[in-house]
Amino acid sequence: MLTHTEENYIKTIYHLSGDANRDVSTNGISEVLKTKPASVTDMLRKLSEKSYIHYIKYQGVTLTKKGKKEALQIIRKHRLWEVFLVDKLKFHWDEVHEIAEQLEHIHSNLLISRLDEFLGNPAFDPHGDPIPDPQGEITIRKKYLLCDMAVGFNGVVVGMLETSPAFLQYLDRLNICPGAKISIKERIVFDGSLEILLQEDKQLVISYEVAKNLYVSD
């Protein structure tokens, strides 16, 4: 069974590696996990030993099949707990990450399948990210930046490009959150700002700067 720490490394490698399974660097991992590169090297040797990663000195890492499977299970747990926190415990979607970071390490398959059922088998987490199924399969949903959509577009907010607290708080003030319905009424040519209809009832104008950082899907 993996330790807390090993799980965090594997998850980080998955996130840095992306769909294309790109090589991940020692420094990259150390930045995300806030450890020193020397510590990362130690852990890489260990995870390689246990065959969770492909690792050749000085050449970067990728996950093995086994490692990727493990990563997807951790991500599944993380995102299911996030749904629980937001849907059931009324947390705001931008304050659940830290707690889910702890909950994702609870070991019990039965717990997770019961939680999944309790939540109604959600496909996406509160940030619009897909929740892997028990086999680790993920539904990929095409997403676009709102600024690239035409007048008349009709869809749903599925995430943000920029994730600074300042931006998230501003979105919150506008009542824009993942899952919110959006349609584009008009585009102001002068500054690229958009007149939108939110949740089919609120009309408002958002700047190009905002539209450039909002992912939507139809």
Partner DNA sequence: ATATTTTTTTAGACTATTCTAAAATCTTAT
Partner DNA sequence: ATAAGATTTTAGAATAGTCTAAAAAAATAT
Residues near DNA (CB under 7 A) are 3-6, 25-28, 33-46, 55, 57-60
Between 57 and 202, name the residue whose CB sits nearer to DNA.
Answer: 57
Question: Of 36, 45, 50, 106, which one interacts with a copy of itself (CB under 8 A)?
Answer: 106
Question: Measuring CA to CA, which residue among 40, 152, 136 is closest to residue 79?
Answer: 136
Among positions 33, 35, 91, 141, the unique one binding a copy of itself when judged by CB under 8 A = 91
User: Is 132:76 a contact under the CB 8 Å cutoff?
Assistant: yes
Our CB check for a copy of itself shows the closer of 55 and 84 to be 84
121 binds a copy of itself (CB under 8 A): no
Write down the least CB distance from residue 19 to a copy of itself, Å: 31
Does residue 6 touch Mn ion according to CB under 5 A?
A: no
125 binds, among DNA, Mn ion, a copy of itself, none (CB under 5 to 8 A by kind): Mn ion
Q: Rule CB under 8 A: is residue 88 a binding residue for a copy of itself?
A: yes
DSSP string, the chain: ---HHHHHHHHHHHHHHTTTT--B-HHHHHHHHT--HHHHHHHHHHHHHTTSEEE-TTS-EEE-HHHHHHHHHHHHHHHHHHHIIIIIT---TTS-HHHHHHHTT---HHHHHHHHHHTT--SB-TTSPBPP-TTS-------EEGGGSPTT-EEEEEEES---HHHHHHHHHHT--TT-EEEEEEE-TTT--EEEEETTTEEEEE-HHHHTTEEEE-
Give the interface segment with Mn ion, choosing from 19-27, 76-84, 86-94, 142-150 (CB under 5 A). Answer: 76-84
Q: Looking at 66-74, 97-105, 173-181, 200-208, which segment touches a copy of itself (CB under 8 A)?
A: 97-105
Distance CA 126, CA 145 (A): 18
Shorter beta-carbon distance to DNA: residue 36 or 202: 36
Question: Residue numbers of the site for Mn ion (CB under 5 A)?
Answer: 8, 82, 101, 125, 127, 129
Question: Residue numbers of the site for a copy of itself (CB under 8 A)?
Answer: 85, 88-91, 98-99, 102-103, 106-108, 110-111, 114-115, 118
